[in-house]
Amino acid sequence: MKFKDFFVIGTDTDVGKTYVSTLLYKALRKYNFQYYKPIQSGCFLKDDELTAPDVDFLTKFVGINYDDSMVTYTLKEEVSPHLASEMEGTIIEIENVKKHYDKLKKKHSNILVEGAGGLYVPLIRDKFYIYDLIKLFNLPVVLVCGTKVGAINHTMLTLNALNTMGIKLEGLVFNNYKGQFFEDDNIKEAIEKLIKHEIDSLPVLRKEKGKLSLVGRFTKTNVTKLFYQELKNKSI
């Protein structure tokens, strides 16, 4: 079975990006996937070493030992990475991040990269942002969205930005869903936006007399439309 590397981002902080990344990693680990958090702020001391909380959560959840190869830069201050690095006198070298990613690629079939917050979170002040890192790795994105009041705006802005930047959307996860009526409406609004854009498709093949013939295409857009119709039926 062949998989892609992908980059998990959120529409906001505390939207559940690490939780979703953890569940994805737990499911894909058996296929030699590796989790990677390039830069983590808000780290804490454990045995006199800075520990990345996202890596700590993931490894405990999965039931494996803490793995410091999953993170390149650990910063103590619980602020944006660019500010934390300035406060602590740490120079973030993107080349080091790229080398770390390439090293992991040699050991593992695929890499699941988790970002910090959303697309426009700065890693180096006025120079390098999360979206730059996504482009550097040339990865598609799995976008984690909330469903609370205000989620429509956050989701639409991020989808528009991804489209403008030419960054491919691989998946959309609505997290922390509680079944409220306004959450269904928020999800429908976001899905309507997705349907307007052509998304990846897979060929549907039929084997006849030892030969394969193309009979159609199974598209993510069509699956999204089916899900959208189900939501509409639910609200009627």
Active site residues: 37
175 burial class (0-12, 13-18, 19+ CB within 10 angstroms)?
Answer: middle
Q: CB neighbours (10 Å) of residue 31?
A: 12
In whole angstroms, give the CA distance from residue 188 to residue 233.
11
Amino acid at 50: L
Q: Which residues contact 236 (CB under 8 A, 6 or more apart)?
A: none
Q: CB neighbours (10 Å) of residue 59?
A: 18
Q: Which residues contact 170 (CB under 8 A, 6 or more apart)?
A: 4, 6, 140, 141, 142, 200
Residue 33: in which H helix or E strand, if any? strand 33-40
In whole angstroms, give the CA distance from residue 171 to residue 41.
26
Least Cα distance to 42 among 85, 93, 11, 9 occurs for 85
